[in-house]
Structure 1
Amino acid sequence: MIAFISSLLLGACNDGESAAAGAPASAKPANTDFVVLGMGCFWGAEKRMSALPGVIDVESGYANGDGDASYEAVLAREKALRSGKGAGRNHAEVVKVFFDPARTDLEKVLIQFWENHDPTQGDRQGNDIGSNYRSAIYTRNDAQQTLAVQTRDRYQRALSAKGLGKITTDIAPLRNYTAAEDYHQDYLRKNPNGYCGLGGTGVKYQQAQAGASSIQTAQTVLAKAPPLDGKTLNFARQLVVFEADDCAYCRQFKAAVLDHWQSPVAVVRTLSTSAPTGWTLEKSLFATPTIVLFEQGREVSRYTGFNGESARFWQWLGYRLLTPEQQKIAFEQGTERPFTGSNLDEKRPGTFVDPVSGAALFRTDSKFESGTGWPSFFNPLPGAITLHEDVSMGMRRVEVRSASSGIHLGHVFDDGPPPTHKRYCINGNVLRFVPDAGKPAR
């Protein structure tokens, strides 16, 4: 059914010219926002997104891949990947959509995105096949990421009601972007009969309320509450969760994260829109929940919105708590050199915990001397870890992650002692040791 609808819409890009197409950079207002979108071939995507009122410029480019970013390089890399001679992730053909927040908002931009291509086709769009043609939303902040996921879920319900398939859109933070070559810019304006190859599903996006955004705005839903007293909080490092009385996402964050809070960072909730007294917010709040990390009474980072993706929250916090060496292990699947990490010789009774979430992982009585140079355990605490297939570095291994935060811990092997005969080989630098009560810390 999807292919049939797409075939009807294929090439239906002969829209009227838009003022946004080819708009010079100097025409952009100072408060211009942007988001990066992949809808298959960027020629048609550029024309479709330019047609939305409030969009002031659309630029074709390449994003979120590895290696060189040029048209020839992307095609060559895709050919290598498809023949099994390449590795990594290819760049996607994307458009960078610049819009004026005073005339339109991100949700309207995303509605145009969802309705004007088929986000269920995986690594293809119409007749264009390859990972470089994948559907994608690459975001520049947490608020964009949250709204992208929310609109995806809403559009999925509309697609499912029509019997269509699962959305495959890649939604992730923008990690790299390169503008495409000049001849790709405004291609269909310069070549009106050029190939478009862009088709939608024919399913309309259903908004929660006409003209309303999916994200709750702090100015309208936060209760009038007095600010927290800064003198009662941890001046060195404190998390403040700004919430609203009637906020489903706040309740979801509380249930998924706060109700199980064991992190070493102090956390407090508030219905106020203001910073704690004597403290400073970098900018006003615009959505709930907003989780702000204060250090020395000043905002140093914030996480806006929550849609159940706990691992993304812990990664945000982890980048503030962990050293660069720890970050490389936790979030890039790195490995410390043997005999160099922490906790290798720790034998006191106690618990080894996740350094970000504070959740318990292993007990000392399951630790043994493996001679490998990494802390080794024959048994984790119940529910503490998750296991994942790892085929990196030309090997087939089983990766160990923290169940609470999702950080990488190490790998598990089948050469351990009884009774489990397992060896959980863990990077000591991503373990924090908590001695049992009455035992001195060091």
Structure 2
Amino acid sequence: MHPPFRSLTAVLSATFLTALFAILPFQALAATDSIVLGMGCFWGAEKRLSEIPGVLDVESGYAGGDAERTSYREVLNLEKRIQRGKSDERNHAEVIKVTFDPEQVSLERVLIGFWENHNPTQGDRQGNDVGSNYRSAIYFNSEAQRAVALETRDAYQQALSAAGLGPITTEIAPLRHYNRAETYHQDYLVKNPDGYCGLGGTQVAYPGAAAGPADQAARTQPSPRLDAKALNAERQLIVFEAEDCPFCQQFRTEVLDGWSSEVPVISTLNPRPPEGWTLEKDLFATPTMVLFEDGKEISRYTGYKGDKERFWQWLGFQILTPEQQRIAFEQGTERAFTGSHLDEKRPGVFVDPITGAPLFRSDTKFESKSGWPSFFNPVEGALTYHEDNAYGMRRTEVRSASSGIHLGHVFDDGPPPTGKRYCINGNVLSFVPDAD
């Protein structure tokens, strides 16, 4: 026995612990809590909830299934077997594990973010992601968490019901078989800012403000629904956008900012149609362009990645007559002396019938006696030129630069000063007279 040695050891241990506590950050010693949530695709869910003040970490994973261990590929393959009726095994849901500091943010505030940032009424799907692996879920780790989950669910159900939405289908159950997702899924939208854009929930706000002032200020206020009375009831194009959506910004820059089409257009961050108007199905990505006639959806164009010509072609098929479509998209030709605008002589501009972009000024129009409207000079940059060897002839086709539609051909037998004759199908021109 060596008492002096033991005393020295005790002194050193106490000194070490004192020094350790002095240099460790206070937050590292503070208690944290975590809860596992399913909101459909975990990429957007991870981004949304990581923005809540007091949330320390959000990790993508899988939970709630029968298998103790799983992977992304195994989850997808099992779901295919389930859909084909070849398995009755319980699949995992795509989830996020939210770790938070209870002294900075309450569990209620975290769950408010959960409810508001997805649609919890859709069963085994979220938007266009269909399957039990995309179910809405809260997997708790204590009875206290379960109580808050049920309480917030009931409160949010009242708000959803008042807004005309159906019952919540969210699974609320004890956490089991949690698996961290593969590394490439972690912080996916940080690493891939052009990734999938979600719609940010139903835009129905959670009732009340039970959390503190800082929490209340951090909540995203929902965008109001469009007022149907302010829109064109006969025909209206609505662009459904989302915050932090690079494709929405690209569409706005490349298409909306220069909009001159006769079709009225408006944008909204609210995924619901105007009161009294109807969508054929839920929206699942942004931007989504929906064309309404008499308050009902007749067609939609989902997503945008710089494919401007495809968008205009989609719109053209909705608003042009069959004869106009044949000319515009099938390089057709109207019969001589049957088209529109042959006798149009007023000051003004002939424009693309889809985009409204200027093509020819009326003061460049001349009588060619060919049976088609003819011009000797287009608006600068309005046309593109293409070799056309159809029917055993060598001609130069002209198309609208804004929409890509076929207009006609250009020949070298026109009047001065250009010597060109732009022979154009009148049925694919619209005329806008000059203001008095």
TM-score range, shorter chain: 0.5 to 0.7
Q: Using the alignment, how far apart are the partners of 1:355 and 1:436 within structure 2?
A: 17
Distance 1:207 1:404, change over 3 A: farther
CA apart distance, 1:208? 9.3
In structure 2, what is the equivalent of residue 378 of structure 1? 376
* Contact 2:200/2:242 (<8 A) preserved: no
CA apart distance, 1:226? 1.6
Q: Which of the pair is proportionally richer in helix?
A: 2
Query: SS at 1:218's partner residue?
Result: coil
In structure 2, what is the equivalent of residue 423 of structure 1? 421
In structure 2, what is the equivalent of residue 324 of structure 1? 322
TM-score of the superposed pair, with normalisation by structure 2 = 0.53
Matched, 1:234 2:223: no
CA apart distance, 1:238? 0.6
* Contact 1:221/1:246 (<8 A) preserved: no
Q: Using the alignment, how far apart are the partners of 1:331 and 1:394 within structure 2?
A: 21
In structure 1, what is the equivalent of residue 252 of structure 2? 254
* Contact 1:354/1:360 (<8 A) preserved: yes
Q: Using the alignment, how far apart are the partners of 1:380 and 1:217 within structure 2?
A: 42
CA apart distance, 1:207? 7.6
Matched, 1:102 2:131: yes
Q: In structure 2, which of residues 360, 363, 372 is the aligned counterpart of residue 362 of structure 1?
A: 360
* Contact 1:292/1:303 (<8 A) preserved: yes
CA apart distance, 1:209? 5.6
Q: Using the alignment, how far apart are the partners of 1:318 and 1:427 within structure 2?
A: 16
Q: Using the alignment, how far apart are the partners of 1:220 and 1:247 within structure 2?
A: 14
* Contact 1:208/1:214 (<8 A) preserved: no
CA apart distance, 1:404? 0.8
What pairs up with 1:143-154 in 2 under 5 angstroms? none
CA apart distance, 1:424? 0.5
In structure 2, what is the equivalent of residue 402 of structure 1? 400
- How many residues align structurally? 249
CA apart distance, 1:392? 2.1
In structure 2, what is the equivalent of residue 215 of structure 1? 196
Q: State which structure, 1 or 2, has the greater radius of gyration over its C-alpha atoms.
A: 2
Amino acid at match of 1:102: G
Amino acid at match of 2:408: G
Q: Using the alignment, how far apart are the partners of 1:361 and 1:208 within structure 2?
A: 49
* Contact 1:336/1:429 (<8 A) preserved: yes
Q: In structure 2, which of residues 312, 315, 324 is the aligned counterpart of residue 314 of structure 1?
A: 312
Matched, 1:437 2:435: yes
Q: In structure 2, which of residues 335, 347, 360 is the aligned counterpart of residue 349 of structure 1?
A: 347
**How large is the RMSD of aligned CA atoms in angstroms?**
2.9
In structure 2, what is the equivalent of residue 273 of structure 1? 271
CA apart distance, 1:55? 5.4
Distance 1:409 1:326, change over 3 A: same
Q: Which runs of 4+ in 1 moved over 6 A?
A: none
Distance 1:247 1:337, change over 3 A: same
What pairs up with 1:123-162 in 2 under 5 angstroms? none
Q: Using the alignment, how far apart are the partners of 1:423 and 1:257 within structure 2?
A: 30
* Contact 1:338/1:373 (<8 A) preserved: yes
* Contact 2:198/2:242 (<8 A) preserved: no
Query: SS at 1:365's partner residue?
Result: helix
Q: Using the alignment, how far apart are the partners of 1:312 and 1:394 within structure 2?
A: 29
In structure 1, what is the equivalent of residue 63 of structure 2? none
CA apart distance, 1:215? 2.5
CA apart distance, 1:217? 2.2
* Contact 2:337/2:371 (<8 A) preserved: yes
Q: For 1:395-427, what per-residue CA distance to the aligned partner results, in whole angstroms no more than 9, with x for missing partners?
A: 221111111111110111111111111111100
What pairs up with 1:286-301 in 2 under 5 angstroms? 286-301=284-299
Amino acid at match of 1:279: W
Q: For 1:178-201, what per-residue CA distance to the aligned partner results, in whole angstroms no more than 9, with x for missing partners?
A: xxxxxxxxxxxxxxxxxxxxxxxx
CA apart distance, 1:220? 5.4
Amino acid at match of 2:237: L
* Contact 1:221/1:244 (<8 A) preserved: no
In structure 1, what is the equivalent of residue 170 of structure 2? none
* Contact 2:202/2:272 (<8 A) preserved: no
CA apart distance, 1:339? 0.6
CA apart distance, 1:350? 1.1
Q: Using the alignment, how far apart are the partners of 1:104 and 1:330 within structure 2?
A: 44
Q: Using the alignment, how far apart are the partners of 2:414 and 2:80 within structure 1?
A: 60
Distance 1:422 1:433, change over 3 A: same
Q: For 1:291-319, what per-residue CA distance to the aligned partner results, in whole angstroms no more than 9, with x for missing partners?
A: 11111011111111100111111111111
Q: Using the alignment, how far apart are the partners of 2:320 and 2:245 within structure 1?
A: 31
Q: Which runs of 5+ in 1 are unaligned?
A: 1-51, 58-99, 106-205
CA apart distance, 1:210? 5.4
TM-score of the superposed pair, with normalisation by structure 1 = 0.52
Distance 1:430 1:208, change over 3 A: farther
Query: SS at 1:328's partner residue?
Result: helix
Query: SS at 2:350's partner residue?
Result: strand
* Contact 1:240/1:291 (<8 A) preserved: yes
